Amino acid sequence: MKLNVVTLSDKNYLSKGLALYESLIETNSEFTLHYLCLDSESYSKLKDLSLENIRVYSADELTSKDSTLESLKVSNYYYFCMTCASYFMNHLFELGFQEITYADSDILFYRSVNELIESFGEDSQIAIFRHRQFPMGIPRPQGWFNVGVIHFKNEKFGRKVLRWWSDCVLNRKHLELSTCGDQKYLDKFPEMCPSEFIFIDGVGHGAPWHWQTLDLSDIHENLTVGFEGNKQKYFFTHFSQFSYDLKKMEYTATTQHREYLPLSEYNSNPNLKKIYDDYFRKIITVNNKYRIQ
């Protein structure tokens, strides 16, 4: 089955979205990146580029058919952006796609997404990934899982959970789960799906909130990390709140999340610094290659 990856952004995250695209080209032989553009500028740019592995969608296609979504774009643009993730995935299911992997536009893959999907097991209809900086079971306002990468199959439980999530986020249902945008809703996924049909964590991935939990000594040579005494294949990094200035040729690894790891650690740890240096170089390359202003 052909790999279908889903992302979205407006013009402000287009460089990051195209860096995601470049990482998919480097690690996957055949795929389509379904790219939902949240503004006209990003839509026009991607349409003009006409990239072989990107299928471009406009958010206007969705808002023109849903007054609730349209009003949300006007009243709360930040929440609208988060709402579009589950909404767009559900839309693709309705179009008949059988299996989709969502990735935030500030994600970078280092191994094949098909290899990642194979690690879920044949029966898994949903895959979600933990926030690793605290143990499961303790209530947290940001939830136990991160929305950066999520996988769904268009089967009984995958379809049921995705529809529920999309409806809850769009219509502000279950307010006790709305403490971190669309994210804390993922806490309910394991309750809604039998354990044999859901994959929870189990592979290597990195983000500003849990670098301190990982052994990065083998990440660059063999693409593996240590976590809780186990060696794991490393698949993706979430470059959340990565900020950069191309005129000054400098970046800040993360403008938030510093309660988990001081910013000084990003420079003093050579393995971690290389992860961010490499990402910044990719952002520079993407801006030059695709002439992004």
Per-residue pLDDT, 270: 97
Mean of the pLDDT values across residues 194-212?
97
Mean of the pLDDT values across residues 281-293?
94
What are the phi and psi torsion angles at 71 (to 5°)? Answer: -65, -30
> Predicted confidence band at 135 (pLDDT cuts at 50, 70, 90)?
confident
Mean of the pLDDT values across residues 210-233?
97
Per-residue pLDDT, 138: 85
Distance from C-alpha of 65 to C-alpha of 70, rounded to nearest angstrom? 8
Q: What is the mean pLDDT of the chain?
A: 96
Exposure class string for 88-125: b at 16+ Cβ within 10 A, else e: bbbbbbeeebebbbbbbbbbbbbbbbbebbebbeeebb
Per-residue pLDDT, 59: 98
Per-residue pLDDT, 29: 87
pTM: 0.96
Sign of CA dihedral 89, 93, 95, 101: positive
Per-residue pLDDT, 254: 96
Domains observed in the chain:
3-205 (3.90.550.10)
Beta bridge pairs of residue 130: 145
Q: Which amino acid appears at position 285 of this protein?
A: T
224 pLDDT above the threshold of 80: yes
Judge contact between 132 and 144, C-beta under 8 A: no
> Predicted confidence band at 1 (pLDDT cuts at 50, 70, 90)?
low
Chain segment 252-276, per-residue pLDDT in tens: 999 999 889 999 999 999 999 999 9
> Predicted confidence band at 237 (pLDDT cuts at 50, 70, 90)?
very high
Judge contact between 88 and 6, C-beta under 8 A: yes
- How far lies 77's CA from each of 74, 155, 242, in Å? 6, 31, 20
Distance from C-alpha of 155 to C-alpha of 1, rounded to nearest angstrom? 15
Pick the more confident residue, 172 or 137.
172
Pick the more confident residue, 134 or 282.
282
Cβ contacts of residue 4 below 8 Å, gap of 6+? 31, 32, 34, 92, 97, 99, 100, 101
